[in-house]
Structure 1
Amino acid sequence: MSQVVEDLVKLLTLKENGDNRFIGHSQDLGFSRVFGGQVIGQGLSAASQTVSDRHPHSLHAYFLRPGDAHHPIDYEVEHVRDGKSFSVRRVIASQFGKTILAMTASFQIEEQGVSHQEVMPNVPGPENFDSTVELFRQHADEIPEKVRDQFTAERPIEYRIVENQNPFRPRHGIGRRHMWIRSVAPLPDDLKIHQYMLAYTSDWGFLETALMPHGLSLGTRNLDIASLDHAIWFHRPFRLDDWLLFVADSPSASGCRGFVRGQIFNRAGELIASTTQEGLVRHHG
């Protein structure tokens, strides 16, 4: 396992700090705020450690305050219900005594039943595209010097975007994006770790889909963008150390909010997860 992947697995595998309480360290990605995917992944990790013999099938999270990337986060898990088939947990993430995220996660025993899914889009494979890190390196001179090293550094998750373009000179397009994603090294044979990692990964580049119809990107000046809420449904087992196709689209933006939804397929064409998000999009242009 590469060091960056090992560090991310360690970051998302929380240790208990009292009854139903956990503490998670923060990751500095070059911004003062904590990356939202980190808090979702850690919250799911905390909730999962209070459930036996059941795997998460859905989570719904609200980002209430920006987290401080230079300080740890406290997680408190409430046992809402344990039924015969399902268990529900509520997670509160806080810093300095204030809530930064509230999340509910549901877990289910393994069961067999009816099955159907939408067909995976037919797009070129990941070998046809450069990674986003390579794109950042190609345009390093356009990245502010204070965050250039973070943007161009090796990352634990590789993203290859089918609709690649210069992130600092975006063009107007349709609100739809296809991203190939995977960890850059093999992961342990533990489904929950793959789920924590996908929760982390699904927040990266997702809300940017709502910027595409307007010719905006994270490199646009005077743009405020932040996740407001996030939901994930896990449909089938998967591995994040093999390529997955993340298909995202944005059917609406209004009131300084952008709405995005996504489907995630494995290379065999199985729909393994779905996700939605709404985020703040303010352009003071």
Structure 2
Amino acid sequence: MTLPPEDFDPFHDLLDVLDLDAVAGEADVFEGRSQPQPHGRVFGGQVVAQSIVAAGRTVADLDGAPRLLHSLHGYFLRPGDPDTCTRYEVERLRDGHSFSARRVHAIQHGRPIISMIFSFQTHDDGLEHQAMMPAVPDPETLRSDDDELATLGNPVSEYMARTRAIDIRHCQGHLYGRPRRITASEQSVWLRAKGELPDDPLIHSAVLAYASDYNLLEGALRRHGVAWGDRRIRAASLDHSMWFHRPFRADEWLLYTQASPSAQGGRALGMGHVFREDGVLVATVAQEGMMRLKQS
């Protein structure tokens, strides 16, 4: 595993990854590169984020009021190859009076690695209520996961500490090296991008979706007293869903509260809410993943 050069900037690398290229001569088709990963597979959150950008570009050209992303649902079908360019093929399913639907297939080697559907909506008024943000420590009082990873002394953790574009801070302690004494299926993390993002709601949605895939399944590990350092773990994301409720910036602190209501059949379910620092609920996330413990 080769570490990036000292002047590597993970934040600007993420912005570059999200800047997809339109394929000449093909309508609604885009291409993008991948970020290298220590496990040799494309990070699922990256493919979700790039799919958001591809779908959003086909909505931006519509006349009338802006249509913002309000929900997405996708299935991870195959591991992605980080050394291969990914092709994003967008299908315009419907453009109604206030909603637009898009389907995106991310293609490598002629086969889909993820299939997603998105819905965009113009602004509308209606009933208003939200879940309440729990009381947690302020992010400034917590150590960054980058600092924690750097102390573990192994190549994978050092690589992660050097290449993450998102500042993540665990409220109940991280699970990278060892399990925690208190076993619970809930946890909270603060997160934000490590630089100032452009004033484009689509990019902020893409970056939050990218970050939401980092640790949503950790509630299942925490519940069973297991950490990522356990060599028996075999984990992979199977699907991912998000609902965007209210405006936010992904370069400002967001609290990501997470819980695992069930684990069974070699799968674990994670549910999450994302709050602004002022307590406003901005998104809800759900993901099921393969979660197996290989018997030694």
Query: What TM-score do you get using the length of structure 2 for normalisation?
Result: 0.91
Q: Distance in 2 between matches of 1:98 and 1:34?
A: 15
**Partner residue in 2 for 1:11:** 17
Question: Does 2:263 correspond to 1:249?
Answer: no
Q: Between 275-284 and 164-173, report the one with greater CA deviation.
A: 164-173
**Partner residue in 1 for 2:272:** 262
Asked whether the 8 Å contact 2:175–2:228 carries over to 1, the reply is: no
Q: Distance in 2 between matches of 1:157 and 1:241?
A: 9
Q: Distance in 1 between matches of 2:51 and 2:274?
A: 21
**Partner residue in 2 for 1:40:** 48
Structure 1: 4+ residue segments shifted above 4 A: none
Question: Does 2:234 correspond to 1:205?
Answer: no
Q: Distance in 1 between matches of 2:120 and 2:164?
A: 30
| CA offsets 1:207-266 (integer angstroms, 9 cap, x no match) | 122111111122110211000000000000100111000000001000000001000000
Q: Which runs of 5+ in 1 are unaligned?
A: none
Q: Distance in 1 between matches of 2:145 and 2:221?
A: 17
Asked whether the 8 Å contact 2:254–2:276 carries over to 1, the reply is: yes
How far has the Cα of 1:71 moved from its partner?
Answer: 1.2
AA aligned opposite 1:271? L
Q: Distance in 2 between matches of 1:72 and 1:56?
A: 25
3-state SS, counterpart of residue 136 of structure 2: coil
How far has the Cα of 1:57 moved from its partner?
Answer: 0.2
AA aligned opposite 1:8? L
From 81, 97, 104, the equivalent of 1:84 is 97
3-state SS, counterpart of residue 251 of structure 1: strand
How far has the Cα of 1:69 moved from its partner?
Answer: 1.3
**Partner residue in 1 for 2:3:** none
Question: Does 2:168 correspond to 1:163?
Answer: no
Q: Distance in 2 between matches of 1:41 and 1:185?
A: 17
1:91–1:135 CA distance, 2 compared to 1 (3 A): same
Q: Between 176-185 and 160-169, report the one with greater CA deviation.
A: 160-169
Asked whether the 8 Å contact 1:135–1:166 carries over to 2, the reply is: no
Question: Does 2:54 correspond to 1:54?
Answer: no
CA RMSD of aligned residues (A): 1.3
AA aligned opposite 1:50? T
| CA offsets 1:118-139 (integer angstroms, 9 cap, x no match) | 1110111101111111111111
Asked whether the 8 Å contact 1:210–1:250 carries over to 2, the reply is: yes
AA aligned opposite 1:26? S
Q: Number of matched residues?
A: 280
Query: What TM-score do you get using the length of structure 1 for normalisation?
Result: 0.95
Q: Distance in 2 between matches of 1:196 and 1:166?
A: 25
| CA offsets 1:144-201 (integer angstroms, 9 cap, x no match) | x3x3441231521100000114621113510111000001111111111101101101
Q: Distance in 2 between matches of 1:265 and 1:166?
A: 22
Q: Distance in 2 between matches of 1:128 and 1:210?
A: 26
Question: Does 2:98 correspond to 1:71?
Answer: no
